[in-house]
Structure 1
């Protein structure tokens, strides 16, 4: 994992949190500030006596004279070091962690380093939302017509559960957030959120590059597909690679509503390069509402066996075994909420209709596919992979796919896609092809390696 390249002490990590810049995945100004700290440590002086040092630097014959420019640099450095602000920041982080890490009745150590807390259903973050306070999780709704599954398959899709440990009935498993998780983020306020950006209908968006299949022009009440899971290489800490279903409504302006679910690799969010099951929602184009997983109030989880944000295991291998997960999102026509099913018949929970504006009624677009962040940290296109990291033309066993893609219509029935379109802004970097057959129904192959001779 790409790190800050800073000292690993808690104090210094806090320091980097305040001053890092996203430049080649490193913490800039590191040497300058560390040198200043070293000098202060040698003299065992406190930051607040910097003005005395400045006085001697300017007027004492013991020290050589410094220029006005150098003096201004030192003055700015003095203003930059603000221990009280750093202390307040850490206090804010710990307060935020107390809000999202709810008291648990049991904790499970996962092999990947995660801690999974078993939290009472009624204590989960969703019920901190003003509209949801005092409410209780609803009973499962009727599935869409035409939905088939072969009973309850094994739910050991996640690494934490392979040990046989599980959360008791009446609780839900929640991945515990840490100080390090928030320190990797841009701020406490933005932790667990996508960066607000202008949202357009095309497949490139402010460094976010997509290869997607989509349908639009009708009223949609859900979507279903199976996606094979990979562990794509993500080359910069502030980039990610994901594959997901988007349920979309709104004008693609500030009123955009989305519900999203799939798998992602995000070193910034999770601190590693494992593919993880995730969800997201927003009702204002990623500005103030919504978040990943259960990192804010909103999504209500009802299942005690699936941890949102936890590592998926196993994964697909190139020219080898393929592992895919099934996802279905659909609107309960009686209550109006949007439910999520993971795997074969496992209900995870739901997004209350009250979270949304346009999605209180229906979706106007459904998208399936991949997305990466291209930060161009090295001055050229990123080498972060989408999907398997191979182009769709390589086909089964080598490329990423969505299969058995369907939508839910006004009559709560799963139906094949009509008029599927595909879009890739940079097909030399990440591409997509679509098709249909008797076994997979509607499907797409998508993905790519990013930087290559045709994608400089």
Structure 2
């Protein structure tokens, strides 16, 4: 039996379905907060309504079963969650803007490989691939995205919120985007609700408003996705992590490509003392329209509309690169054994520790520039640590990671 399948509708049914999708009403929405609350209905009744599920899992013209069990729905581009918001629906998907100058630095940009299309399956023109969600995933991903988050990412004290970092960052500037290459691992996650990730944070910290962030990279979150494989993901918040949006789980990101599915598995992964595999992530502001675009590998994925993130109307204030683990440790328990990156400390270097290389920022002229002097932070360096360096080919880089629980980790 084939491990991957697709269900193609006949031409007659396709025409009928297309007519239905084009002319049937889109679920109305009062504002972004109301739509995001479709993901939090369970707080009151522990069950999502059919209407809420239809807002989250859109009608599709084709479905593809990935070898890892995911179902990828090919959804008409104008029916994606972002266009439940009237101001976005009126504009429709925009064309990609000019790529920042100097984008070819740091090596050839290759295609990001994902399991869902590894057998040659693809979504038709005019659609985007959206990973189908179950009720249980919606419940858990919402609680993971908001639980224990702080209202300011400038406060990296080892507090009780459970989020532990090993990062390099630049701050106190005007940043119009960031780029870096992240190698991909499949770290072991040991407790329910925990995750391990590597990503770029683009942050707007305006004194009079809660923190806003745009984030992209890879993560392992078994409670959220059902498997322990690394997933390409994005996350955003415009209210200091009081709420947030993963991938296309709620309106917040407009996808424009049919080639990449946010939340789907990335392959292959790096091996200790073996071959290393990485992905290039670029986030940048469109100088013309002000939206913030995402490019992964050689594919422009889509954009965060600036209308939903007003604090990014001008520029970002901080850029961060590196790793994060959510430690679900409870009183009396040992520190989590969830590993960050490869599970090895940065002192071991290439092929053994996790890295972020060719770290760059984008200036007001839409040009990529070396990140320069990098500040480092690791709340618990005996658990997860970070070190930085510079190389002719790698530019500015960091090695980071660690095993979590060990005799020195407290």
TM range (shorter): 0.7 to 0.9
Alignment of 1:319 onto 2:282: no
Check whether the contact 2:74–2:127 (CA below 8 A) recurs between aligned residues: yes
Q: Is the 8 A contact 1:253 1:285 kept in 2?
A: no
Superposed counterparts of 1:344-363, under 5 Å: 345-363=298-316
Q: Does 1:98 align with 2:54?
A: yes
Secondary structure at the counterpart of residue 92 of structure 1: coil
Q: Is the 8 A contact 2:345 2:400 kept in 1?
A: yes
Partner of 2:318: 365
CA distance in 2, matches of 1:252, 1:317: 43
What's the offset of the Cα at 1:295?
0.4
Alpha-carbon distance in 2 for matches of 1:327, 1:240: 20
Aligned twin of 1:423: 377
Q: 1:434 to 1:145 in 2, by over 3 A?
A: same
SS of equivalent residue, structure 2 residue 168: strand
**Structure 1 residue ranges without an equivalent (≥5):** 1-84
Residue correspondence of structure 1 range 139-158 to structure 2 within 5 A: 139-148=95-104, 153-155=110-112, 157-158=113-114
Q: Does 1:197 align with 2:153?
A: no
- 165, 173, 179: which is aligned to 1:224? 179
- Of the structure 1 ranges 197-206 and 352-361, higher mean CA displacement relative to structure 2 is found in 197-206
Q: Which moved more, 1:304-313 or 1:202-211?
A: 202-211
> Any idea what the Cα deviations from partners look like across 1:251-304, whole Å, max 9, x if unmatched?
47852010000000112211221110000111111224x300000011000000
- 2 CA distance for matches of 1:165 and 1:390? 36
CA contact (8 A) 1:252 1:285 kept: no
Contact 2:231–2:265 at 8 Å: present in 1 too? yes
Query: Which residue of 347, 351, 354 corresponds with 1:400?
Result: 354
Contact 2:273 2:352 in 1 (8 A): yes
* Separation of aligned partners in 1, 2:173 and 2:47: 49
Contact kept? 2:73, 2:129, Cα under 8 Å: yes
Contact kept? 2:358, 2:394, Cα under 8 Å:
yes
TM-score (norm 1): 0.76
Partner of 1:262: 217
Q: Does 1:128 align with 2:80?
A: no
Structure 1 CA distance for aligned equivalents of residues 333 and 294 of structure 2: 40
Separation in structure 2 between the aligned mates of residue 200 and residue 349 of structure 1, nearest angstrom: 25
Whole-Å separation in 2 of the counterparts to 1:192 and 1:137: 29
Q: Does 1:214 align with 2:169?
A: yes
Give 1:360 deviation, angstroms: 1.2
Q: What does the per-residue CA deviation read over 1:380-410, in whole Å, with 9 as the maximum and x for residues that have no partner?
A: 1110101111100011001000010100001
* Other structure's SS at 1:260 match: strand
Paired residues of 2:71 and 2:132 also in contact (CA < 8 A): yes
For residue 97 of structure 1, report the CA deviation from its aligned partner. Answer: 1.8
In the alignment, which residue of structure 2 is the partner of 1:301? Answer: 255
Distance 2:208 2:340 in 1: 26
Contact 1:141 1:332 in 2 (8 A): yes
Unaligned runs of 5+ in 2: 1-40
Q: Tell me if the contact between 2:190 and 2:337 (Cα under 8 Å) persists in the aligned partners.
A: yes
C-alpha contact (below 8 Å) 1:94/1:179 kept by paired residues: no
The answer as to whether partners of 2:144 and 2:193 remain within 8 angstroms in 1 is no
User: Would you say 1:439 and 2:389 are equivalent positions?
Assistant: no
Secondary structure of residue in 2 paired with 1:193: helix
Shift of the 158–126 alpha-carbon distance from structure 1 to 2, 3 Å rule, reads same
* CA-CA distance at 1:237 after TM superposition: 1.3
2:242 corresponds, among 287, 290, 293, to 287
Please give the alpha-carbon distance, in whole angstroms, between the structure 2 residues aligned to 1:220 and 1:142.
17
CA distance in 2, matches of 1:424, 1:152: 30
The counterpart of 1:339, out of the listed 274, 289, 293, is 293
Q: Take 1:392 and 1:235, find their aligned partners in 2: how far apart are those partners?
A: 21
1:278 corresponds to 2:233:
yes
Give the alignment's TM-score, normalised by structure 2: 0.84
CA shift in 2, pair 1:143/1:313, >3 Å = same
Does 2:207 match 1:248?
A: no
Residue 199 of structure 1 contacts residue 252 of structure 1 at CA under 8 Å; is this kept in 2? no
Query: What is the total number of aligned residue pairs between the two structures?
Result: 364
Verify the 8 A CA contact 1:223 1:247 in the aligned structure 2: yes
